[in-house]
Structure 1
């Protein structure tokens, strides 16, 4: 809980699309924009409750028809120094910027998988090897189990992969060194497991890459193209 951050750094509610490439945002009010003020107050109280029970900081911005109708900050922009609770946390403001770190790849991959699952093209209990030819243990691997890995194991970060294999860094990656995307994906398939699947939890970049590979074996294009055609383009 200490390191869990709920970052609603931007919630854009857009009911129309401006012809301008970069529309100018103007100030308005919830009442003028047709929002239910009591519902917004309920949301305010709910977010305040979440901050009271442990969420460090929340920022919310609502935009409709290129008008800013609501923005507010709750809690702290910085509440912990490492793992130590600060005596005087840095208060969050509407101008606070957050480091989103690895959230982009996590959200993109999960949204794509949820879409495929809702269409019946993929199931969380499916084996990874079903979608990635050659995804198997090597004879010399100390820890075996790739043939048992399911998509849900990767989603739970319990797939057994090393946290940071650093494929582009030859000094670290060794025989798995690669600075070519296609070759790197092959190296990921060959990377030995670091622990028995489901025996531990470790966030690993390899997990996202394997999920990307899994989605690419379905009757869709690569992950980035799929997101563009199924989500981004449709919202424009």
Structure 2
């Protein structure tokens, strides 16, 4: 009887996996504990990451995955410094760029829990520099910018979901040049000087009317500073980084740790990499501007501690950073259906946007879309780094590379496929 049941089970799996490989069928048969990261998945991940390195399209890659609170995968391939033949390692320090944003959002939401603000408060309540904004309305025949009044003020919710209206492109007639001239993101600025310069430039569109990635999270950092009365970097250290023991997550890398700091590479063609020479000093000198949207460096284990705190609904190792309901709020889609203009966000797949995360709201519709589970929340960085939190399967993943331009080689898609199996999973 047992043999008959086994045969019927095998036939059922075969029939339900028409687009699934032989290895994945075997994987489903032998994976009785319903784990996502099986031995076959680990082999797939190794194969994918190693192939990108051996092809010369990335210098090095490292990945760390936890499932149900336990480490289930770690490996590293290639180099953090090709010229010096320094292998990428577990404690290699990388530039995480926009993966700074979820950390900033977490810092902001600790103040929300303290009752210091409401999401629909106008930001001018705390940053009066933004109290008299105008909205861009094109240019006249002479190239002079035209403006119209605000329909409503920018809210904190707008900042957290990228609907504030700040310009962030180089091709808006008149407005792009004005924003560039304002030089708000100059690293010599303080956060207050940044806001003063941003406030001199009209908004690109009415707040809440469309999704456009931009400097909203940098303004969140100033919000934290104004509401708490503490410099942003100091607040971040005290309330997020130190409690989570993220000791290698910093704006500034001291001299004694720079031998662990990865070089960043620019891909100029198939198998062609050129070492970046511009960004290094952003982290080896101490600058006044502590951006909320970018600027932190980190290690695999540090960022995994942050991800584990989130999958644990706000706590890690008896440290409570956020309440479970706050994490749920952050991981909920805040984009209404009325926001139809969403820039490149649809390229991420079936996602909306929460508080500084993309939030998966439906399974992938095609094999070409990123794999993932409904309820997952995640983000990535300009140097092609990636992390996600899968609360359904209690999986957290961190992928580190240092590659410009941002993932033009389908790395994230193939890494996700390696973790979850091919579509449909």
Q: TM-score range by the shorter chain?
A: 0.5 to 0.7
Q: CA deviation at 1:124?
A: 0.7
Q: CA deviation at 1:59?
A: 4.5
Residue 124 in 1 paired to residue 128 in 2?
A: no
Q: CA deviation at 1:101?
A: 4.0
1:204 matched residue in structure 2: 214
- Cα distance in 2 between the residues matched to 1:130 and 1:137: 12
- Cα distance in 2 between the residues matched to 1:146 and 1:224: 34
CA contact (8 A) 1:128 1:151 kept: yes
2:37 matched residue in structure 1: 44
* CA displacement, residues 157-189 of structure 1 (integer Å, 9 cap, x when unaligned): 111110157xxxx97646513543133331012
Residue 232 in 1 paired to residue 241 in 2?
A: yes
Q: CA deviation at 1:42?
A: 3.2
TM-score by length of structure 2 reads 0.32
Alignment match of 1:181 (pick from 176, 189, 194): 189
Structure 1 segments, 4+ long, off by >3 Å, are 41-45, 58-62, 97-101, 138-141, 170-175, 177-180
Q: CA deviation at 1:152?
A: 0.3
Q: Tell me: CA distance 1:60–1:140, structure 2 relative to 1, closer, same or farther (3 Å).
A: closer
- Cα distance in 1 between the residues matched to 2:151 and 2:238: 32
- Cα distance in 2 between the residues matched to 1:222 and 1:192: 27
Unaligned runs of 5+ in 2: 1-30, 42-61, 76-88, 137-146, 171-175, 246-425
Q: Tell me: CA distance 1:148–1:119, structure 2 relative to 1, closer, same or farther (3 Å).
A: same
Residue 108 in 1 paired to residue 103 in 2?
A: yes
- Cα distance in 1 between the residues matched to 2:217 and 2:63: 27
What SS does the corresponding residue of 2:116 show, helix, strand or coil? coil
Cα RMSD, aligned residues only: 3.9
1:60 matched residue in structure 2: 64
Unaligned runs of 5+ in 1: 1-36, 49-57, 63-67, 74-93
What SS does the corresponding residue of 1:70 show, helix, strand or coil? strand
Q: Tell me: CA distance 1:43–1:195, structure 2 relative to 1, closer, same or farther (3 Å).
A: same
Alignment match of 1:215 (pick from 224, 227, 233): 224
What SS does the corresponding residue of 2:204 show, helix, strand or coil? coil
Q: Which has the higher contact order (CA 8 A, sep 6+)?
A: 2
Residue 135 in 1 paired to residue 141 in 2?
A: no
- Cα distance in 2 between the residues matched to 1:190 and 1:151: 19
- Cα distance in 1 between the residues matched to 2:135 and 2:162: 24
* CA displacement, residues 129-178 of structure 1 (integer Å, 9 cap, x when unaligned): 0100221235796143286111001111111110157xxxx976465135
1:81 matched residue in structure 2: none
* CA displacement, residues 42-97 of structure 1 (integer Å, 9 cap, x when unaligned): 3537xx8xxxxxxxxx95345xxxxx953168xxxxxxxxxxxxxxxxxxxx99x9
**5 Å matches for 1:80-91?**
none
CA contact (8 A) 2:135 2:203 kept: no
CA contact (8 A) 2:127 2:226 kept: yes
- Cα distance in 2 between the residues matched to 1:173 and 1:150: 21
Q: CA deviation at 1:230?
A: 1.0
Aligned residues: 158
